[in-house]
Homo-oligomer: A and B are copies of this chain.
Amino acid sequence: MSNLTINADRLLRRIDELGSIGRDAQGRLVRVAASDMDRLGRDRLVGWLHEAGLEVAVDRIGNIFGIWQDDANAGQLPVMLGSHIDTVIDAGIYDGCYGVLSALEAIESLKEAGFAPARPLAVAAFTNEEGVRYSPDMMGSLVFAGGIGVDEALAAVGTDGSVLGKELERIGYAGRHQPGFLKPQSYVELHVEQGPVLEREGIAIGAVENLQGISWQRITIEGQANHAGTTPMSMRRDAGVAAARVIGFLADRAGASPTPTVATVGTIAFEPNAINVIPSRATFTVDLRDPDETHLREEEAALAALLDDLAAGAGVTVQAESLARFEPVTLDAGIVSLIEEIAGAAGLSCRRITSGAGHDAQMIARIAPSAMIFVPSRGGISHNPAEFTAAGELVAGANILLGVAARLAAD
């Protein structure tokens, strides 16, 4: 099968088209999970799955599957290829979508070429991978892998107060299948790196061998509202200043760390949020990551200690709530080697790499041998409309996915 390739034009056209769906009034791509915009993207994807002659199934958490099976292989566990099509706010067009559309493209090309797989092949598009609207991230794949119950996940309350289950019903993607109804024999996810490593080293393909751990928390600091003009500095219980101390601390600590720890405060809100009122409340999120579980715990402990100090000294009360917590994951050594082998056979440079981002593969690895393929991200930029990977690099990655899938499905 080594001379089979994907239909590059079709893949690139679909990536552009899906990237044009879900733009807001300012032209920003905002297809957050289970929103009206997400529905439009899902509808388009389902249309393509049908066009490719795949059997479409949706599970209760809204994961979409396109399955190619025939009488000869119907009893076998499928090879699953996938990712997600939900986006962050003001997103690029590649994150997730590239993986789903390449999965479809690989399967469609194999089908068109008359490839006769020993087992079914399935495309998966998992719900709410980004975690921007509902926590935790990778929610659809986590539920699919049995990591949390589907009812608990459906009850998740979004940043906008919406309830995921209600939203899935509203947009027509509360499916009838139980999550996990389709047990994969293996899972492979193709994705843009979203980081700077491959581009910096001039390497075409990353064979992802592990993913770092993720700790998401929501911190709420309560102080006391008071008048900005009349309240002496010494009498203030300023929740906003306390929040700023935490943000500065995290940046300083991660910045000085000898480990690859990263720390981010991406969201914040003050109450009452008025120019001449000392904030009575500050709410913000913390995203802490490290490839080493021991280090990640140290970072969490350092944050907890700082919050205790603030509560003891700054006249504020502090609450920390965990929104997501995933340990680092090691991917399947066999599939990682297979990716290297296929890339080598295609004459592409390849290196093993750690994923800085969380991915659905991190969840599916709990139930099936899983791995990931990365392609370079220009300037290491992602979660930004400037996210970019050149067409040739996208096509190269999709061809590696096709090759890996063909091998996994061959027996």
Contact = CB atoms under 8 A, between A and B. Distances in A.
Interface string A37-71: 00000000000000000000000000000000000
A380 B235 contact: yes
A274 interface: yes
Given A196-B235, A238-B251, A251-B244, A383 B266 contact: no
Contacts of A245: 244, 248
Copies in the complex: 2
Contact of A262 (B195, B229, B247, B383): B229
Given A233-B254, A235-B380, A382-B227, A270 B267 contact: yes
B274 A251 contact: no
A131 interface: yes
A272 interface: yes
Give the dominant DSSP class at A's interface. Answer: loop
Contact of A251 (B235, B241, B267, B383): B241
Nearest to A381: B226
Interface string A258-273: 0011111111111111
Interface string A324-368: 000000000000000000000000000000011110000000000
Interface residues of A, number: 74
A268 B273 contact: yes
Contact of A230 (B235, B266, B357): B357
Contact of A232 (B196, B269, B277, B357): B196
Contact of A225 (B135, B251, B383): B383
- Complex A-B, nearest 8 residue pairs according to Cβ-Cβ distance, in ascending order: A230-B356, A195-B230, A244-B247, A228-B264, A89-B272, A225-B384, A244-B244, A227-B382
